[in-house]
Amino acid sequence: MAKAAPSIPHHIAIVMDGNGRWAKRRLMPRIAGHRQGVESLRRCIRACVERGVAVLTVFAFSSENWNRPEDEVSGLMELLGKALAREVPELQKGGIRLHFVGDRQGLSEGMRQGLAQAEAQTADNRRMVLNVCFNYGGRWDIAQAAARVAARGEPITEAALDRAMALAHVPDPDLLIRTGGEQRISNFLLWQCAYSELYFSHRLWPDFDAAALDEAIAAFDARERRFGQTSEQLARQAAG
Ligand code: IPE
Ligand code: IPE
Ligand code: MG
């Protein structure tokens, strides 16, 4: 009997790590690894659309990445600007809706305008949502949500915070992938990954291809998500 197709996570989040090491192994500058990382993202977006993933959220630049050498930071900013100009028409063709998630206050005025424009251009697309976390930190997100709820004079409840978080427009990630071999969250989606399945890949991000994505999805498919309940309860619910 043919094996049933694996269940596809509705929302996949990815810490795209390992660009620098990819470049270093080739005696190339780190920014060359980031450039290759953009190619890998493009391939991953296509693979997710083909597999019917509804939401893809990627970590592109963390609140802490400002602490990197100045030339790497400016190289990354430039790369984002170029990627925006080049990729938005492609996303548009593919029916992908783009959201930027993070603290825009720390970005240049030109960059802020570019992000807003890209979001507006893709706002009617319905095939897949792509959240690009840029100047994002999980702690920043929780703090900004709390500040917004407090400013409205509302009580700080779980539900109110949930509605104020930067990813409130999508359900929480089902599968969180980190490439590059490190097994940590690095201040990514602290609030939203409470019940995400975690998957760590040794592949460096530029080497993470469609086959690697399928391995991650197969691993996800083999997990039992209990959300605090017992296996027996889940079996009973599945039996109706
Ligand atoms: C991830 O790759 C991309 C960003 C943080 C912008 P790294 O640049 O962290 O790559 P490694 O971890 O040094 O290999
Ligand atoms: C996490 O990777 C951030 C992104 C992938 C954008 P880092 O390379 O910055 O994480 P650490 O420093 O190894 O924890
Ligand atoms: Mg890294």
Give pLDDT tens digits along the chain (240 positions): 566 788 999 999 999 999 999 999 999 999 999 999 999 999 999 999 999 999 999 999 999 999 999 999 999 999 999 999 999 999 999 999 999 999 999 899 999 999 999 999 999 999 999 999 999 999 999 999 999 999 999 999 999 999 999 999 999 999 999 999 999 999 999 999 999 999 999 999 999 999 999 999 999 999 999 999 999 999 999 998
Closest Cα partner for 133 from 208, 192, 67? 192
Please list every protein residue whose CB sits less than 6 Å from any atom of ligand 1. 16-21, 61, 65, 76, 180
- pLDDT at position 3 is 65
Q: What's the pLDDT at 6? A: 87
25 Cα: distance to centroid of ligand 3 (angstroms): 14
Catalogue all structural domains in the chain, each as residue range(s) with its CATH number.
Answer: 30-137+166-221 (3.40.1180.10)
Quick one: pLDDT at residue 128?
Answer: 98
Q: Which two tokens stand for residue 193?
A: 């990954």
pLDDT given for residue 201 in this prediction: 98
pLDDT score for 61:
98
Q: Which residues are catalytic?
A: 17, 65
At residue 98, the pLDDT reads: 98
In the block, tokens 């976390």 appear at 133
From 14, 16, 17, mutation site for ligand 2 pocket: most ligand atoms within 8 A of C-beta: 17
Quote the ligand 3 centre to 185 CA distance (angstroms).
11
3 state DSSP class of 60: strand
Q: What is the pLDDT of residue 1?
A: 54
First to last CA, the chain: 25
The DSSP secondary-structure symbol of 78 reads H
Residue nearest to atom 6 of ligand 1 (CA): 61
